[in-house]
Amino acid sequence: MTHFADFLQSALRESFFNLTLYTVFGIAVFGLVWKGLKNVWRWRRIQPKSEQRKHFFSHDILFSFGSILMAGFLTALITLLDQFGYMKLYWDINAYGTTWGILQLFFLLFFYDAYFYWSHRFMHHPKIYRWVHKTHHKSTDPSPLTIFAFHPFENLIEFLPFLVLPMFIPIFWPILFLWQTLDLINNLLAHLGYEIYPKNWLRLPFLKYKTASTHHNMHHEKFNGNYGLYFTFWDKWMKTEFSDYADRFQSIEKK
Ligand SMILES: [Zn+2]
Ligand SMILES: [Zn+2]
């Protein structure tokens, strides 16, 4: 009973934290960029002619609240499993060597990128799409309000690696937090609706493989391509990258 009460308290605390994140990165950034900087950054708009309707915003906010609560419970579950000794999460950087302490971040980013690409394509399967992933695609012109707008089942799919990987692989707690932070920033940029990467981004060695804001924005607009999350490798290998991605990116940056 005590464990249950602790779990519930931890879940509510995590949900409140997620609500704070959404208030800052979702609602406040939406207010700042989509309202405050609307005219100043007009040239950075990825879909300048979009006819975004208000009810898409409320739809995204509504489903985000569900995600906030669900992610709160799943995060509390990580802590609970850790307390019961089911997790290989650790605080001492020397416990598994500093090399692994640093390399694991790259492993996690590349692993999750591959996981996201394939689970994302799975959710786009015509027989599955309308039951789960359609919720996230309501906004064909995504905004910061879309960052947590997921169906509960999609939430579970996307959260699963955060829950399961630390059961099998030693993960340094600060790296887990860093991964989650980078994931949140990437999520925000992907749904910003404005391109803020530098204009020579797609010509930079290696960095050009990091998805620019236009990459995921085009996925919301056209659906059947650009499935990647952090990097463009999988879309290039599987030939699912929109052929006009680079041109589109350049056209925004030239305005
Ligand atoms: Zn999708
Ligand atoms: Zn999206």
Confidence of residue 97 (pLDDT cuts 50, 70, 90): very high
Least confident range from 1-5, 40-44, 108-112, 202-206: namely 1-5
Rounded average pLDDT over 1-9: 84
The residue whose two tokens read 């309000």 is: 145
- For residue 2, count CB atoms less than 10 angstroms from its CB and return exposed for 0-12, middle for 13-18, buried for 19 or more: exposed
Could you tell me the distance, in angstroms and rounded to a whole number, from the CA of residue 124 to the centre of ligand 1?
6
Measure 83 CA to ligand 2 centroid, in angstroms: 34
Three-state DSSP class for residue 231: strand
- Calculate mean pLDDT across residues 221-225: 94
Distance 12 CA to ligand 2 centre (A): 26
Q: 158 CA to middle of ligand 2, Å? A: 12
**Model pLDDT for residues 23-78, shown as the tens digit of each residue:** 999 999 999 999 999 999 999 999 988 766 666 899 999 999 999 999 999 999 99
Distance 227 CA to ligand 1 centre (A): 6
Q: Which CA distances in Å does 163 have to 71, 81, 189?
A: 11, 9, 24
How far apart CA 239 and CA 228 sit, in angstroms, is 11
Please name the helix (run of DSSP H) or strand (run of DSSP E) that holds residue 4, with its range, or none: helix 2-21
* pLDDT attached to residue 4: 85
Residue 163 contacts residue 74 (beta carbons within 8 Å): yes
Q: Which ligand is nearest to the CA of 229?
A: 2
pTM for the full predicted model: 0.94
**pLDDT tens by residue, 79-88:** 999 999 999 9
d(CA 123, CA 43): 33
What is the pLDDT of the chain when averaged over all its residues?
94
59 Cα to the center of ligand 2, angstroms: 14
Q: How many whole angstroms from 221 Cα to the centroid of ligand 2?
A: 10
What is the distance between the terminal CA atoms of the chain, rounded to a whole angstrom?
61
Angle separating helix axes 152-168 and 54-83, nearest 10 degrees: 30
Q: What is the mean pLDDT of residues 111-133?
A: 97
Please name which ligand lies nearest the alpha carbon of 63: 2
**The one-letter amino acid at 144:** P
Ligand closest to Cα of 119 equals 1
Q: Is there a contact between 36 and 98 (Cβ–Cβ < 8 Å)?
A: no
Q: What percent of the chain has pLDDT over 70?
A: 96
**Radius of gyration for the alpha carbons in the chain, expressed in angstroms and rounded:** 19
* Helix/strand/coil for 172: strand
**In this structure, how many other beta carbons lie within 10 angstroms of the beta carbon of residue 229?**
23
How many Å lie between the centroid of ligand 1 and the Cα of residue 223? Answer: 6
What one-letter code names the amino acid at 36? G
Q: Tell me the CB-side half-sphere exposure of residue 45, using CA atoms within 13 A.
A: 17
**Ligand 1 centroid vs 216 CA: distance in angstroms?**
9
